[in-house]
């Protein structure tokens, strides 16, 4: 056990240390915001003790919110997979490590949900996860794929692919949100367009290749239950961010993800299964803070919406309601589940466009919620969480949940 006085050690939006108590408090908030348990599983379920879910990317962002809602509201059994760093002599464990430990605690001794710390891209992780699922449950009802990573090693070839965040075709010039200490500034940025090789590598990392490998492995092992439903997270967003997102290298990867969903739908249909991508709304996540202009856009969006800005907890609740049949699927013309109506409302986008056009360093206080955004970034690492005593020494040695 190790009691430490921890400092964030942040450089801009990147924090070198995570706070265990703050990370736990964030998970507690997600738990409280999830609806109360819905009761026993439907009578026509083959699993009498609740459905079985495999959640890949369960320690952060939408994957974490989906995991907590699955445990709290539906009493789901199953497995969450994340790739998190343990504590070292110099650094705390990663925020996702501490969040996972707290999620396991909240599921309680009566829970039947395990967590695997492994590289989801690897063949070894797939084998270990599927062995656990086969031995413990037999078949799986849901697979939620929510993975964001900077690189991926192809398990077949051993080639390492590195993703990039760049425009396609022409250079990208746009406003950005920067901080000089605690003072928010509007800066500018220019990015050269990606090469074909960079685009292709980004698709290999962030597209649907690994999602399909997981589904193929489940099918090969006979672990797909009748009624199985798999989803993977995607994003559309505003035309303000489209050049660096939807029309850039990330967008190429998301298009591949959506194309993969249609291929998986054909593969799963004979087994009684379904596959969709889920268009979530904007959120402050460790992945999104790395995308130029997203910080400014999200700060402006929150200023426009206020309490109408939907959290990942709210969106995860809406997703599970649709997946479990409590609410009908909200599909667009491309057969994507849409959770982003609150963001993409025409009046909301018109207001954000007005704020964007007027955004400058001297107008930021009246146009953007920069303090909210900065606090949200800190919360990703367990900082800036109300009720957490950051002056006290914290227990940083927290074991990974056992069970797999």
Point out the residues that are catalytic.
Answer: 245
Contact status, residue 202 vs residue 208, Cβ threshold 8 Å:
no
Taking the alpha carbons at both ends of the chain, their separation in whole angstroms is 23
CA 178 to chain centre: 23
Token pair listed for 365: 């206080």
Contact status, residue 279 vs residue 338, Cβ threshold 8 Å:
yes
Q: For residues 190 and 76, what is the distance between their CA atoms, to the nearest angstrom?
A: 46
Token pair listed for 23: 């990370």
Q: Tell me the Ramachandran region of residue 237: left when phi exceeds 0, alpha when psi lies from -120 to 50, beta otherwise.
A: left
What sign has the CA pseudo-torsion 166, 170, 171, 172? negative
Contact status, residue 395 vs residue 2, Cβ threshold 8 Å:
yes
Number of helices (H), then strands (E), in the chain: 13, 13
- The angle subtended at Cα 16 by Cα 15 and Cα 17, nearest 5°, is 95
3-state secondary structure of 224: strand
Q: In what helix (H) or strand (E) does residue 227 lie, and over which residues does it extend?
A: strand 224-234
Contact status, residue 38 vs residue 70, Cβ threshold 8 Å:
no
Cross-strand pairs, 53: 78, 142
Dihedral angle computed from the Cα positions of residues 40, 44, 45 and 47, in that order, rounded to the nearest 10 degrees: 80
3-state secondary structure of 82: strand
CB within 8 Å of 98: residues ≥ 6 apart: 18, 19, 20, 23, 24, 92, 382, 398
| Tokens 């990606």, residue located | 194
């Amino acid at each position: 056990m190790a009691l430490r006085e921890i400092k964030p050690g942040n450089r801009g939006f990147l924090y070198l240390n995570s706070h265990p108590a703050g990370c736990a408090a964030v998970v507690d908030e997600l738990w409280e915001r999830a609806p109360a348990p819905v009761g026993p599983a439907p009578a026509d379920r083959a699993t009498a003790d609740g459905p079985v879910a495999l959640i890949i990317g369960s320690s952060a962002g939408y994957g974490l919110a989906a995991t907590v809602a699955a445990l709290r509201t539906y009493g789901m059994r199953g497995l969450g997979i994340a790739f998190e760093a343990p504590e070292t002599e110099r650094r705390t464990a990663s925020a996702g490590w501490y969040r996972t430990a707290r999620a396991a605690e909240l599921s309680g001794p009566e829970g039947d949900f395990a967590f695997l710390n492994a590289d989801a891209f690897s063949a070894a992780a797939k084998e270990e996860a599927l062995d656990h699922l086969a031995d413990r449950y037999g078949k799986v009802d849901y697979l939620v794929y929510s993975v964001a990573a900077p690189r991926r090693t192809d398990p077949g070839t051993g080639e390492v692919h590195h993703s990039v965040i760049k425009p396609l075709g022409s250079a990208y010039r746009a406003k950005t949100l920067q901080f000089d200490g605690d003072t928010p500034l509007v800066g500018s940025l220019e990015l050269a367009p990606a090469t074909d090789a960079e685009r292709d590598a980004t698709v290999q990392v962030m597209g649907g290749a690994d999602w399909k490998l997981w589904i193929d492995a489940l099918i090969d092992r006979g672990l797909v239950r009748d009624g199985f439903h798999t989803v993977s997270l995607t994003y559309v967003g505003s035309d303000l961010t489209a050049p660096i997102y939807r029309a850039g290298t990330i967008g190429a990867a998301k298009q591949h993800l959506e194309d993969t969903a249609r291929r998986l739908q054909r593969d799963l249909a004979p087994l009684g299964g379904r596959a969709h991508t889920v268009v979530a709304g904007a959120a402050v996540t460790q992945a999104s803070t790395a995308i130029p202009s997203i910080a400014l856009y999200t700060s402006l969006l929150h200023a426009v919406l206020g309490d109408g800005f939907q959290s990942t907890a709210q969106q995860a609740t809406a997703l599970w309601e649709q997946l479990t049949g409590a609410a009908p699927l909200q599909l667009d013309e491309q057969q994507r589940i849409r959770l982003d109506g609150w963001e993409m409302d025409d009046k909301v986008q018109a207001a954000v466009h007005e704020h964007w056009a007027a955004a400058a360093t001297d107008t930021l206080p009246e146009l953007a919620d920069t303090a909210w955004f900065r606090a949200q970034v800190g919360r990703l690492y367990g900082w800036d969480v109300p009720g957490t005593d950051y002056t006290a020494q914290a227990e940083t040695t927290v074991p990974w949940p056992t069970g797999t």
